[in-house]
Amino acid sequence: MAPNIDAILQSLTLEEKISLLAGKDFWETVPIQSKGVPAIKTSDGPNGARGAVFNGGTRAACFPSAVCSASTWNPALSKRIGNALGEETLTKGARVLLGPTMCNHRHPLGGRNFESFSEDPLLAGKMAAQVCIGLQEKGIGATVKHFAANEQETERLSVDEVISERALREIYLKPFEIAIREANPWAVMTAYNKINGTHADSHPLLLQKVLRGEWGWKGLVMSDWGGTNSTADALNAGLDLEMPGPTRHRSLKAVIESVEKGLVSESTINTRTRNVLDLIEKVGGFENPEILPEKSVDDPAHRQLIREVAGQGLALLKNNGVLPLVKEKYKGKKIALLGLAKDALIHGGGSASLHSHYRISPWEGLHSAFGDSVEFKFAKGKGAHTYRLLPPMTGNTTDKQGKPGWTVELFENGKTTQPIKTTNGFKEAQFSPLLAQEAKFREIHMSATYVPDVCGSHYLSCSGIGPTIVYINEKVVFEQTKNSEDAMAFLFGGNPEEEFTYTFTKGESYRIRIESSPPVTNATDDGGILEGLPGFRLGFMKQEEHDEDLVTEAVELARECDVAIVFTGHTPVWETEGQDQVSFNLPKDGSQDRLVEAVASANPKTVVVNSTGVAVAMPWLSKVAAVLQAWFPGQEAGNVIADVLSGAVNPSGRLPISWPKKIEHAPAYGNFPGVKAGDQLTVKYEEGVFVGYRHYDRFPKDKVLFPFGFGLSYTSFTLVEGQASQISPDSFKVSVKVSNTGDRAGATVVQLYIGKGEKSPKHPVKTLAAFKKVFLESGRDDIVELEVSLKDFAYFDEAKGAWIVDRGRYEFSFGQSTANIESAVSVDIEGSRRLKL
């Protein structure tokens, strides 16, 4: 029997209602068992249901990242991903999945771009909507995030983004609008950042006027973790649930005081509580209140789906004929697998990371595909230095008991004469803030005696969540006086660290001690959800390892092989939540670019397979034979890469982002990540609506390496006979003939762009209005019909506060990328039309 939400709400006291408006702990809501209100559990994240533990928890399926899924341009696959994610979420005892992530790719250096779909709001919205539908078909609440404009990680908790209403509406809110209208997700998560001076969790325009008003959405709004910034303002604006718990802004005292002072009405409390109860009902919490233990279920159907989606998402960007590497043709030959060939780059860092069921590296996938028919060669050391942080110091250390490892001592703050707890045998010089709640608001000392086995300079580095000092033989060699700018980033791979050197003598003993305090709190910074928790790491590397030449062996190997494949990309610490990209060039310090250059000089049949969630510089592009963009394709990574390289799968991925030649060409260049005045970082979205291809369309093509929508195939396609006519005041009949003119079956994406016949500097040249992926056998053709409405190419008029399509002639352009328009037709649209908000 369905619960009577009205009766439950009336039975709750004011104090009980308030208790429901914040989480119980990191992942669960608050139960009120006496009134029949159960707790429900949430789980990260956008490409897999991780469960409760950040690192090394219950194994889970790792699906392709959103940008890889978007590269399929196939919303039907997104719905199937949603179904599978729903099934995975249930295995973790959770009822709400914290995804999909769907903010736009504003700038190539955005640290979390890989989690989101595209630079284009239509493509992002259509893909995300289907994920939501798929999730909720399985009874799992979808949580679209981060609402809104979370396009950078630099100072993400406080950055103020100055955005025009037109740009906000057309670019940054549009994906959410599509998902809300087409999928009705049961939850929305607010962003950390400010928009035009107001934090997203208490933003009346976003939450009241647009989300609940114009869009008419009825669901639960939750904060990002630690993203609640007020008591009364957030309640009044429409934030239903503060996460995680225990509460920081919604204590009984704080909320009751707000009610007594007239800052918040009891009616508002009732509304917020009802939304929490409604979500519990939607996900079946009242019917099945038990939160089941987490388990790992490695479903063969999910394996197959991941491989299929990634296979359609990998994008072939260059091919001079060397691909595919047909097995029969290369029998008995040698292929060099270089760079990150033995690394399975399956996901980015942060909320998207998880303990996958398995992870197939390219080395493993290619061996599986080719067997013993090909001799694969690998150069030790990967041919390039790719670490972001020096590995934690370990080895040749003894603790205070004389045993291998480190000693950790816990002190009351400011009282370091007598530890309240001592632990010996720590393996390495790092301390996670999640390691022990007993360390909260306490000082940590970690110490060891180090006896080096070689003389000379050694490299060290250090960072802490709070103030941290490193001593060697009682001399300070490192001091951090301030808090980490983003403590959560410390969890997701560490904060940026500067390396320094120290000269050791072989055989001598050195006393090393790290002293780290909890984050210093003040009126504007209370430490967030890691408040009071210390954490630090001490990196270490011998000079011979740090400065080792890794390129020479790789080049020699490439020279003796028939084909050389160089695997490049970002490991999770380089592309992660909590930090924007360090550089447009591949890490570290150009080492991967130098490897590709050197290998390509030695072997004309050099193929590059790049695994990043963003565009990167390719200074070697003209020297290599082929480039395959693999994104982060999930746990089947190596198998999928082998499928495409071998020709078992014909590549059909199309770029969901524009790929600039230089970072200076990016539309947000100069306005990312902003300018700081005092303690406030402000970033101006001065490019307005001219994001991605909307920007590049206005300039010569030499600014773009690969255009939006681009991707090659092992076959070829043509688009001809485009037609478009207006069949009602709001809709159009559109079609085009697609032909496979090559010698094998394959797929392309029909992309329809619409723009004003009379160009205007106020409007984009053209805007993506519809698309469809088409699969055809060799020599076959098909008539593809597309659905288009006025809203798909309208602009937002700030003065009128309305969506507008002006009277006049419009070009309906059919292409396989923004730069490859093959058929176009003009349509006269009568009368200026004001569309419904």
213: which residues sit within 8 A by CB, 6+ positions away?
A: none
How many angstroms separate the CA atoms of 666 and 657, rounded? 11
Choice between 260 and 381, residue whose per-residue pLDDT is larger: 260
The residue annotated as part of the active site, out of 120, 160, 201, 224, is 224
Closest CA relative to residue 423, chosen from 434, 474, 439: 439
Q: Is residue 627 a contact partner of residue 317, using CB atoms and an 8 Å limit?
A: yes
Mind listing the pLDDT tens digit for each residue in 551-567?
Answer: 999 999 999 999 999 99
- The confidence score (pLDDT) of residue 522 equals 60
**What's the rounded mean pLDDT across residues 533-544?**
92
Pairing of strands 194-195, 160-162: parallel
Second-level CATH architecture of 40-135+301-383+559-708? 3-Layer(aba) Sandwich (3.40)
Residue with tokens 């780059």: 345
Q: pTM of the predicted model, to two decimals?
A: 0.95
Distances (CA, A) of 352 to 61, 611, 828: 12, 15, 46
- The confidence score (pLDDT) of residue 1 equals 66
How many angstroms separate the CA atoms of 354 and 341, rounded? 21
3 state SS of 121: helix
Distances (CA, A) of 680 to 153, 161, 677: 15, 11, 6
Residue with tokens 């009364």: 232
Choice between 483 and 780, residue whose per-residue pLDDT is larger: 780
Residues of the chain with CATH 3.20.20.300: 7-36+141-151+181-282
The residues that bridge with 29 in the sheet, in sequence order, are: 23
Q: Is residue 555 a contact partner of residue 561, using CB atoms and an 8 Å limit?
A: no
Q: What band does 471 get if pLDDT is binned at 50, 70 and 90?
A: very high
User: Does residue 201 carry a catalytic annotation?
Assistant: no
Distances (CA, A) of 744 to 13, 56, 652, 775: 68, 44, 13, 11
Question: What CATH number has the domain spanning 715-835?
Answer: 2.60.40.10
Identify the helix (H) or strand (E) that includes residue 331: none
Q: Is residue 269 a contact partner of residue 255, using CB atoms and an 8 Å limit?
A: yes
Least confident of 157-171, 489-503, 666-680: 489-503
3 state SS of 162: strand
Q: Is the pLDDT of residue 676 over 60?
A: yes
Mind listing the pLDDT tens digit for each residue in 240-287?
Answer: 999 999 999 999 999 999 999 999 999 999 999 999 999 999 999 999
For residue 336, what are its two tokens? 């060099």
Q: What band does 498 get if pLDDT is binned at 50, 70 and 90?
A: confident
- The confidence score (pLDDT) of residue 835 equals 84
- The confidence score (pLDDT) of residue 523 equals 45
In the chain, the amino acid numbered 27 is: W
- The confidence score (pLDDT) of residue 207 equals 98
Distances (CA, A) of 39 to 31, 35, 135, 145, 285: 4, 12, 20, 22, 7
Residues of the chain with CATH 3.40.50.1700: 40-135+301-383+559-708
What is the C-alpha R_g of the chain?
Answer: 28
384: which residues sit within 8 A by CB, 6+ positions away?
A: 339, 550, 551, 588, 591, 592, 594, 595
How many angstroms separate the CA atoms of 479 and 594, rounded? 34
Question: What sign does the CA torsion over 373, 379, 384, 386 have?
Answer: positive
In terms of Cβ atoms closer than 10 Å to its own Cβ (0-12, 13-18, 19+), residue 652 is: buried
Distances (CA, A) of 245 to 19, 28, 280: 10, 8, 17
697: which residues sit within 8 A by CB, 6+ positions away?
A: 764, 765, 766, 818
Least confident of 89-93, 215-219, 437-441: 437-441
How many angstroms separate the CA atoms of 77 and 100, rounded? 14
- The confidence score (pLDDT) of residue 532 equals 84
Neighbour count for residue 832 (Cβ, 10 Å): 12
Homologous superfamily (CATH) for 397-546: Galactose-binding domain-like (2.60.120.260)
**What's the rounded mean pLDDT across residues 410-426?**
91
**What's the rounded mean pLDDT across residues 513-527?**
74
**What does residue 830 show for φ and ψ, rounded to 5 degrees?**
-85, 130
H-assigned helices in 95-195: 121-137, 165-167, 174-183
Neighbour count for residue 363 (Cβ, 10 Å): 19
Half-sphere exposure of 399 (CA within 13 A, CB side): 18
Q: Is the pLDDT of residue 312 over 90?
A: yes
Mean of pLDDT over the chain: 95
Q: What band does 484 get if pLDDT is binned at 50, 70 and 90?
A: confident
Distances (CA, A) of 77 to 72, 91, 117, 146, 655: 8, 21, 14, 22, 16
The residues that bridge with 810 in the sheet, in sequence order, are: 756, 827
- The confidence score (pLDDT) of residue 135 equals 98
3 state SS of 271: helix
Residues of the chain with CATH 2.60.40.10: 715-835
Mind listing the pLDDT tens digit for each residue in 572-604?
Answer: 999 999 889 999 999 998 999 999 999 999 999
**What's the rounded mean pLDDT across residues 785-793?**
95
In terms of Cβ atoms closer than 10 Å to its own Cβ (0-12, 13-18, 19+), residue 228 is: buried
Hey, which bits of 203-347 come out as E strands?
A: 220-222, 315-319, 334-339
In the chain, the amino acid numbered 123 is: L
Q: Is the pLDDT of residue 524 over 70?
A: no
Question: Could you say which of 3.40.50.2300, 1.10.260.40, 3.30.56.10, 3.20.20.300 is the CATH number of the domain covering 7-36+141-151+181-282?
Answer: 3.20.20.300
Residues of the chain with CATH 2.60.120.260: 397-546
Identify the helix (H) or strand (E) that includes residue 85: helix 75-91
How many angstroms separate the CA atoms of 153 and 477, rounded? 30
Identify the helix (H) or strand (E) that includes residue 715: none
How many angstroms separate the CA atoms of 700 and 695, rounded? 11
